[in-house]
């Protein structure tokens, strides 16, 4: 398959690219700082330009979308808009525009996260965004055209990132990032739709 990977430069994105290429797929990468296909997923015009340049696609996989981590009492209205605009709007827009661009039996794999199920202090915006993405996946699955599919991967904290996040995720059992990347393979190559692949 020819797969567009958005967010290819991060920890998860690099691992997703590796496992997809191991399985013989052609991976077209895009990110904010990608020298080939740069994209700002908060900007609909940037997403349009990305699809224009990417060419024919069988699938889209997303490993991008940031949220602010702040105590609830310190959150501002721009923080809330930022969480919704980046991780939620950006991914929804990739599907909305992409439905008319990818193959009739193509798929979208979005990224969510453990905080949709396990809220943590300073993580209310992550919980909001992850929950919204998962609700969107379930709803969009019944309306996508042709035989297109949409799923999400929702992983706990990665072992490779525990040095930075150990205090925040105290008591959590970390998983290797490759386990989450393999869930993308199940989404891309499988037949499920409207499903959240939980990795924990």
Q: Give residue-wise pLDDT tens across range 140-168.
A: 999 999 999 999 999 999 999 999 888 88
Distance CA 173, CA 166 (A): 10
Check pLDDT > 80 for residue 36.
Answer: no
Q: What angle do the packed helices 124-140 and 90-98 form, to 10 degrees? A: 20
CA distances from 159 to 50, 66, 101, 169 (A): 32, 19, 36, 11
Non-local CB neighbours of 118 within 8 Å, separated by 6+ positions? 156, 172
**Chain-wide mean pLDDT for the chain?**
96
Look up residue 100 and give its two tokens: 């008319």
Distance CA 29, CA 14 (A): 10
DSSP E strands in 63-156: the ranges are 102-111, 149-155
Q: Would the pTM of this model clear 0.85, i.e. be above it? A: yes
Check pLDDT > 80 for residue 35.
Answer: no
């Amino acid at each position: 398959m020819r797969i567009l990977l958005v967010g290819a430069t991060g920890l998860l994105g690099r691992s997703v690219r590796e496992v997809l290429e191991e399985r013989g797929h052609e991976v077209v990468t895009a990110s904010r700082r990608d020298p080939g296909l740069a994209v700002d997923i908060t900007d609909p015009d940037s997403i349009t330009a990305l699809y224009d340049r990417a060419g024919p696609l069988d699938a889209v996989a997303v490993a991008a979308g940031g949220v602010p981590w702040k105590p609830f009492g310190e959150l501002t209205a721009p923080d809330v808009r930022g969480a919704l605009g980046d991780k939620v709007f950006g991914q929804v827009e990739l599907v909305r525009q992409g439905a008319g661009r990818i193959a009739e039996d193509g798929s979208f794999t979005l990224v969510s996260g453990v905080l949709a199920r396990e809220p943590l202090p300073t993580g209310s915006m992550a919980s909001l965004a992850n929950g919204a993405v998962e609700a969107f996946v379930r709803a969009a699955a019944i309306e996508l055209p042709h035989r297109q599919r949409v799923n999400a991967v929702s992983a706990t904290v990665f072992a490779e990132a525990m040095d930075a996040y150990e205090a925040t995720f105290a008591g959590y059992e970390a998983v290797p990032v490759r386990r989450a990347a393999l869930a993308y393979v199940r989404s891309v190559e499988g037949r499920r739709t409207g499903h959240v692949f939980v990795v924990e």
